[in-house]
Amino acid sequence: MHYDYLIVGSGLFGATFAYRAKQAGKSCLVIDKRPHLGGNVYCENIEGINVHKYGAHIFHTNNKAVWDFVNSLVPFNRYTNCPVANYHGELYNLPFNMNTFAQLWGVRTPDEAKTKIEEQRAEALAALQGREPRNLEEQALCLVGKDIFYKLIKEYTEKQWGRDCKDLPAFIIKRLPVRFVFDNNYFNDAYQGIPIGGYNKLIAALLEGVEVKTECDFFKEYKDNWREIANQLIYTGPIDEYFDYKFGRLDWRTVSFQTRIEDTPNYQGNAVINYTSHDVPYTRVIEHKHFEMFGQSVYDCPKTVVSEEYSTEYQPGMEQFYPVNDARNNLLADQYRTLAAQEINVLFGGRLAEYKYYDMAPIIEKVLNLPL
């Protein structure tokens, strides 16, 4: 059979493109090298709980058209992301808001909190003696002061990046939002939630009626002959791999997970708890049931599943999670993008193919606005 589109990768970019193509009466074949569909939003059901196999995915957007689109495929629940930080056993609400400031300093009013932060910011700015911040540590201290930085940012960031904050560039943190209201909702978006029944239901709805092939390696089966079976290629894999690493490999940060079943209905009382000190090796613990179970339903499910997340340097064979947007990698990525622009009838899309971090909603918005 000859297809209009060969789509490499069944994550949100590939699956949404396939949905649009089918709606437009186009034929497509979706292939994925993994044994499952859905890319990094894939969920594995363990003990009746949808476990986010590749890390927590929380859908949020201000775009009503995107929200209406995904809810037309599968209804979303009311989950609101309200992470908690654990620093040497002390608990703090995130993002930085009046609850956090009350926990840190015992302040009760926004004016008291503002005064405290401004005092500490002034101290950090004075230490620079008029020069610009040279690294992430100096930048963060100038933005929020020493207490928030040392308890909630410094060691967590160092675990994420595997480097001292003094060795990380200042541009990584352009701003650190602080809220002078008692609001633990991490996102400011108008719409937020998780698909009822998990992300697999969203992917299944996007790919309904579309021909798919898992455990299929594009480079082994189709790279040299795809034009014989399709008019156009939609490629969502790593851009450097597509060009056989002609200019060298792009760097990534990756995450590994230690997932286990706990014989209790409620292990930590929250979906996401960040561990912001070096004495705990992992960056955060996810308790997956809290994404979809609320109130009594938490206790109606007698066990729970938790995942510890460990941030590490990427090595070939690992999953690529976060692009490393330093000078070397940005230059390298631009060289690959120049090559990609010269490819005929090939569309490079998504995090891996664009070497760009995306939340889920912007990916869907991008695909919905693509010409077919």
Q: Which amino acid is at 193?
A: G
Which of 253, 308, 358, 365 is catalytic? The answer is 253
Which of 319, 326, 359, 365 is catalytic? The answer is 359
Active site annotation includes 227: no
Which of 42, 79, 179, 199 is catalytic? The answer is 179
Query: SS3 of 2, please?
Result: coil
Could you tell me which of 306, 200, 208 has the C-alpha nearest to residue 257?
A: 306
Active site annotation includes 357: yes
Active site annotation includes 121: no
- Residue found by looking up tokens 């608990």 in the block: 91
Active site annotation includes 275: no
Residue 264, both tokens: 């209790």
Which of 131, 132, 175, 224 is catalytic? The answer is 175
Phi, then psi, of 2 in degrees rounded to 5: -105, 130
Report whether the peptide linkage leading into residue 95 is cis, meaning its omega lies within 30 degrees of zero: yes
Bridging pattern class, strands 211-213 and 49-52: unpaired
Which residues touch 269 (CB under 8 Å, ≥6 apart)? 287, 290
Which of 68, 221, 313, 357 is catalytic? The answer is 357
Residue 336, both tokens: 């690959």
215 burial (CB, 10 Å; 0-12 / 13-18 / 19+) is: exposed
Which of 287, 309, 351, 355 is catalytic? The answer is 309
Which of 137, 251, 275, 284 is catalytic? The answer is 284
Active site annotation includes 134: no
Active site annotation includes 284: yes
Q: For 195, which DSSP code?
A: B
Contact between 193 and 59 (Cβ < 8 Å): yes
CA atoms within 13 A on the CB side of 12: 22
DSSP states of 221-245? HTTTTGGGTEEEEEE-S-HHHHTTT
Active site annotation includes 253: yes
Q: Which residue numbers are catalytic?
A: 175, 179, 253, 284, 309, 357, 359
